[in-house]
A and B are shown apart, each in its own frame.
Chain A
Amino acid sequence: MNPLAVTHITATSCLGCGMDATLQSLRAQRSGLAPCSFETVDIKTYTGEVPGVDDIRIPERLSTFDCRNNRLAWLGLIQDGFFEAAARCAQRVGPDRVGVFLGTSTSGILQAELAYRRRDSASGALPGDFEYAETQNSFSVADFVRRALDLKGPAAVVCSACSSSAKVFGSARRMIEAGVIDAAVVGGVDSLCLTTLYGFHSLQLTSSGPCRPFDVARDGISISEAAAFALLERAGDAPIHLLGVGESSDAYHMSSPHPDGVGARSAMLHALAAADIEASEIDYINLHGTGTQTNDSSESKAVSSVFGTRVPCSSTKGATGHALGAAGALEAAICALALRHGFMPGGLNTTQIDPDLGIQYLDTNRSAPLNRVLSNSFGFGGTNCCLILGRHG
């Protein structure tokens, strides 16, 4: 594929708002996870909540879109000058030449969960102030961001569970390559809600403590929330480029990855082929690394089958938690930080690396010049996506 310029990128998560705060937390090996105190949730688990989301005010003209997910989207959009950069890009190429492709797994479902508590006692009707299209519907976040930025190009939400906001890079890449658009706002926004907290708990996939990816005693995920955005352009003088995207399906199980990582391996090989580089040219891998027994075992088999033990790998989910549909974009932003600063973030909370997982897992920060890094994102339904980002030139 033709490399695309990543002309702007930003991330907001439990590590902080914007790239500087994210970098500082990663450098300090500070986790954003804390015992879950979200809403009325009574599960013993840790979550990565973004402080102050409920106090965010979205633009008045878009008030029907008001919900936690779109507040988080707005908070993320106004960090690092992203909003202005996207507006300048639209001015340059035309608002109809900028697409919006965002990933989410649950969008504003929390709004529906809360509305169901306020049903009319006689008729069962939902309250009149519940806006389905603008909050609950998966497309709501892309619709909101497109309107907030006054963009007029194509738009869609990719809603493929935890690979969603990695796959949007693939959709945008094809649209730009086909010439349908010249630039795209891509990213992911997912916010805490009861469906995912109680849902993952029902599958016994939430850890009772902070998640410990690749630890011998790992026992599940810590659910979190995040908003991360990137501006992709066909041509642009940017230090970081999107070099490759690889996608695949497991065809195995709805909620477990293929035990041998067949789909994950295929996604990584496709990404390398798209970038036209060898496995030996990858300097760091940001793992999906959720901290479940099955994910980390399956992913390590896939990674070692392609890269052996040569490449330093880490999961940043011990710091950020698992932001589900926003994880892919969040970790792309972390990869951008890694490339910019020659910095590989060590995985947190892992006290004893599982010796059965045959990869070079970093549990401390390491500095080294990095030219090309790879990020994995996998999701329920056996959906896999792998991104390769690199320094330009």
Chain B
Amino acid sequence: MTELNAYVEGIGLLGPGLPDWAAGSAVFREEAPFESRPTLLPTPDSLPPAERRRTGRIVKLALAVGLEATARAAVHPSHLPTVFSSSGGDGQNCHEICQTLASGERLLSPTRFHNSVHNVAAGYWGIANGARAPSNSLCAYDASFAAGLLEALTQVVVDQSPNLLIAYDSQYPEPLFTKRPIADAFGVALLLSPERRSTSLAQLHVTFTDCPSEQMDDRGLEALRTSIPAARALPLLRALARRENKKVVVDYLDSLQMAVEVNPCS
């Protein structure tokens, strides 16, 4: 088997109490306390105004973390293959559609419909960045972060090209919320590369395991990890922020967990 290795060249982070990677790193290193606050999503300035008006929270979130990861790594996103992974897409938009279809007037708006595709964030990412490289959009329910990481890593090692992973989820309104209690937006982006560069942050090495996933010590962060699927990345992000040389187990499928060995670069 080819070793599933990649170098982390950039990180994007946005979630409750974690406004970006710098602030998040300070929390993970315990230099700052974790204080959960509703996620504030920036306006996607990279999109033309007409498109910008049509975007929902899920798109704003994905674009924000993706751009943070690529900005820090000084890579232009136009030629970068991407993997988008979300546990369920735009819950608000889905609610609006189901509500309309259950009413007497089943007139959907075209924008509402095109925003309903799971790859809506990938589509807007392409438009915003002129990115014509391959892009995949995955869903694996609660396993979506690890599924996305696995897809991105296999692209890196097989195609020998860099890849940007964007894992993201946003909240569900009632009545869906009761069935799928995701309360806020959380996104993480990892820019991965097949070879080590002077700017590489760490090497990741992925294997499978049946060990339980690592938890967060902070009760608030642990609640975040378990309540939003994309936040299953938190233990990995903590190891990256602390520049720890360690093996982190992240949640994947029932019978299959993912072990990520983190080796900081210098």
Contacts and interface: CB of A to CB of B under 8 A. Distances in A.
A122 to B, nearest CB: 12
A38 interface: no
Given A137-B139, A195-B116, A249 B131 contact: yes
Contacts of A255: 110, 114
Contacts of B253: 154-155
Contacts of B51: 254
Contacts of B115: 254
A263 B132 contact: yes
B109 interface: yes
Contacts, number: 219
A380 B141 contact: no
B245 interface: no
B149 to A, nearest CB: 11
Contacts of B159: 174
Interface in B95-137: 97-99, 101-102, 106-110, 112-120, 122-124, 126-127, 129-137
A254 B139 CA distance: 20
A375 interface: no
A179 B1 contact: yes
B114 A254 contact: yes
B137 A159 contact: yes
A380 B119 contact: yes
A202 B114 CA distance: 10
B251 interface: no
Contact of B175 (A119, A173, A175, A202): A119
Contacts of B244: none
- Contact-residue size bin, chain A (C-beta under 8 Å from the other chain): 35 or more
Contact of A195 (B2, B113, B176): B113
A291 interface: no
B259 interface: no
Chain A contact surface mostly: mixed
Interface string A148-185: 00001111111111000001001101110111100000
B117 A380 contact: yes
Q: Which of A125, A138, A249 has the most CB of B within 10 A?
A: A249
Interface in A268-326: 270
Interface stretch (B35-43, B67-75, B150-158): B150-158
B219 interface: no
B127 A252 contact: yes
Q: Which of B4, B131, B137, B144 has the most CB of A within 10 A?
A: B137
B174 A124 contact: yes
Contacts of A159: 89, 117-119, 137-139
Interface string A93-130: 00010000000010001001101110100001110001
A383 B114 contact: no
B101 A156 contact: no
A62 to B, nearest CB: 14
Given A113-B101, A138-B89, A249 B139 contact: no
A96 B1 contact: no
B178 interface: yes
Interface in B199-242: 208
A195 B141 CA distance: 21
Contact of A253 (B127, B144, B179): B127
B147 interface: yes
B158 A177 contact: yes
A72 interface: no
A289 B138 CA distance: 25
B256 A154 contact: yes
A35 interface: no
B180 interface: yes
Contact of B136 (A42, A160, A254): A160
Contacts of A202: 107-110, 112-113
Interface string B18-34: 00000000000000000
A126 B176 CA distance: 7
A247 interface: yes
A203 B113 contact: yes
A247 B134 CA distance: 5
A315 B144 CA distance: 34
Contacts of A96: 208, 256
B136 to A, nearest CB: 6
Contacts of A207: none
A65 to B, nearest CB: 12
A266 interface: yes
A171 B136 contact: yes
Contact of B140 (A116, A139, A247): A139
10 contacts: A115-B98, A125-B175, A159-B139, A161-B118, A161-B119, A173-B158, A198-B113, A199-B113, A251-B132, A381-B126
Closest 8 CB pairs of A and B: A381-B123, A179-B1, A199-B113, A159-B118, A247-B134, A116-B102, A138-B139, A251-B126
Interface of B: 1-2, 4, 51, 54, 78, 85, 87-89, 94, 97-99, 101-102, 106-110, 112-120, 122-124, 126-127, 129-141, 143-144, 147, 150-151, 153-155, 157-159, 174-176, 178-180, 208, 252-253, 255-256
Given A143-B141, A159-B138, A251-B127, 17 more contacts: A105-B118, A116-B99, A132-B179, A154-B256, A157-B139, A159-B139, A160-B135, A178-B157, A195-B97, A195-B116, A199-B110, A249-B122, A251-B129, A381-B117, A382-B123, A383-B122, A383-B123
